[in-house]
Amino acid sequence: MLKFDRNRTKQTFQEIEARSRPASRSRRLSGLLAGAFLAGTALTFSVPAHADADTITAVMHSGLRVLDPIITTAHITRNHGYMIYDVLVAVDEDFKPHPQMADWAISDDNLVYTFTLRDGLTFHDGAPVTAADAVASLKRWGERDSGGQLIFDVTESLEATDEKTITWKLSKPFPALLETVGKQSAVPPFIMPERIASTSADQAITEYVGSGPFVFVESEYQPGVSVTYEKFDDYVPREEPPSWMAGGKVVKVERVRWVTMPDAQTAINAVMSGEIDYIEAPQVDLLPIVASSPDVTVEVRDELGYQTMGRMNFKHPPFDNPKIRQAALKALSQENVLAALIGNPEYYSVCGAIFGCGTPLADDTGSETLTSGGDKEAAKALLQEAGYDGTPVVLMQPTDVTTLAAQPVVAAQALREAGFTVDMQAMDWQTLVTRRASMSAPAEGGWNMFFTNWMVPEINSPLISPMLNGRGDEAWFGWPKDDALEALREEFIAASTPEAQKDVASRIQAYTLENVIYVPLGQYAAPQVISKKLTGMLPSPVPVFWNIEKSE
């Protein structure tokens, strides 16, 4: 299947883990952002002066409130999923699928996949993992995930043919089945006990039992504040060396604790003093402070980076009108957003490709105004042509996540300058994650627009990108109903050569921006701050806590 051109990505973000000097130019629009990154500075938990040698204490990019990793694409919930659940198939750093919980065989006609569970798989409650558990989990996942929906479109049957065997029969070949089932994000098909996986895909689970390398300590969980995981002593790692989500998940500490520190400066002080061990998403303009400490280091977790983007609600005015969506796109500038979000241009790249720059499907058709500073006059003309009546744009702004606070502030100003009425509503990220699932009208608790970030591996193909699902109420938040987009995705599945795939992907790029399925706002690197007491952290897009050792 498709692979990334790592050389271009490396040129874009080369050696940035060694660059922690101040930004070469001042952050734009800083007045607009005053207070946005530092909202909610009071801490509501205690951290020991020096963290326990058997415990990794980490500040993640967000507090954890939603615990079901199938009903949301929120990265913090996905990260939680990898702590306590396992998957049948996992991809390595070359995007090659490997057996994780199960080996597989494929029939000569490519219509039957037979998965066999490996020995030693046990849930945290002591029950053995069975094929029935995997089947129930896959079916629930297939109702929510964009790629899973495509696979189930051509699924004749998915059955547990004995305690350890899963038989998946297709009506026609789906060449990317293993890559889709093994993808690392948005949404991984985590395996749960059948009784839990039988929960409706529209309802959140209420029991959190997995078979993964860590156990969720529910008694110590404080939603949005802290969460604790303990090593699962009965977990049997694979023997292969770890690579991204594949290979042996060997846990070398007793506990991992995630704590929330809304104030970025407080988190920096805490990691430098030894109170915490790791910051997943530090504020970039604070990194020069860290450079002075001999006890911590700044590094980029994965060279591929992230894409930041805006999503509109297709169900309600004003963005149910495609001309008004086009007006919003023309009002926005990637450079303005990235400069406010990241500050240091060495950590970001203007990029109009919906599949990410440096990837085989990269194409920037239709992104000209986004990558050249926006076109306010064109936006105004489109609003007038569409008969925009001043309907407010309810724009949700998370104030507690440094990588998401800037985008709505910059966008609100740009939209207002183009003639939109904007109602920007501040909230914490987990409230936003919950609210974006509401299909209600904006005046009744719904919304019109929000911003989020995707790892490039989550959006590098029409098969896996949640943003390109055109199935209406079954689509990702925003719910575009777009049969033409779905037809293009079907055409991509049928493409038999990389050249044919590239041709279809280019047409999907043009169609996406012409119809404003979403607004790509550029690509940026993801530096992390890590104590030198920690060694062995995998260079994975998803931060994982197996394989890490902690010294005294």
- pLDDT for 527-539, tens place per residue? 899 999 999 999 8
CA atoms in the 13 A half-sphere facing the CB of 381: 5
- For residue 157, CA distances in Å to 121, 240, 469 come to 24, 32, 23
H/E element, 527 = strand 527-531
Round the average pLDDT of the chain to a whole number and report it: 89
Mean local confidence (pLDDT), 77-100: 94
Residue 21 has pLDDT above 90, yes or no: no
What's the rounded Cα separation, in Å, for the pair 179 and 188? 11
DSSP structural state of residue 443: G
Residue-wise pLDDT for 218-228, tens only, equals 999 999 899 99
Which amino acid is present at 471?
Answer: R
The whole-number pLDDT of residue 46 equals 53
Report CA torsion sign: 24, 26, 29, 35.
positive
What's the rounded Cα separation, in Å, for the pair 341 and 27? 9
Residue-wise pLDDT for 462-520, tens only, equals 988 989 999 999 899 999 999 999 999 999 988 888 899 999 999 999 999 999 999 99
DSSP structural state of residue 513: H
The whole-number pLDDT of residue 48 equals 52
φ, ψ at 396 (rounded to 5°): -85, 130
DSSP string, 209-261: ---SSEEE-GGG-BTTTEEEEEE-TT----SSPPBTTBS-----SSEEEEE--
Strand 112-117 to 89-91 pairing: unpaired
Domains present along the chain, CATH in parentheses = 44-62+213-302+530-552 (3.40.190.10), 85-193 (3.90.76.10), 304-524 (3.10.105.10)
Would you tell me how many other CB atoms lie within 10 Å of the CB of residue 104? 17
Question: Which SS3 state, helix, strand or coil, does residue 137 take?
Answer: helix
Strand 348-349 to 519-524 pairing: antiparallel
Q: Strand (E) positions, 313-392?
A: 348-349
φ, ψ at 415 (rounded to 5°): -65, -40
The whole-number pLDDT of residue 35 equals 36
What's the rounded Cα separation, in Å, for the pair 544 and 500? 36
To the nearest 10°, report the CA torsion of 410, 413, 419, 421: 100
The whole-number pLDDT of residue 47 equals 55
Q: Is 114 exposed, middle or buried (0-12, 13-18, 19+ CB in 10 A)?
A: middle
Residue 93 has pLDDT above 50, yes or no: yes
Of 8-17, 122-131, 197-206, 338-347, which gets the smallest average pLDDT?
A: 8-17
Helix axes 498-514, 483-494, angle to 10 degrees: 170
Q: Strand (E) positions, 380-500?
A: 393-398, 422-427, 449-455
DSSP string, 378-411: HHHHHHHHHT-----EEEEEESS-TTTSHHHHHH
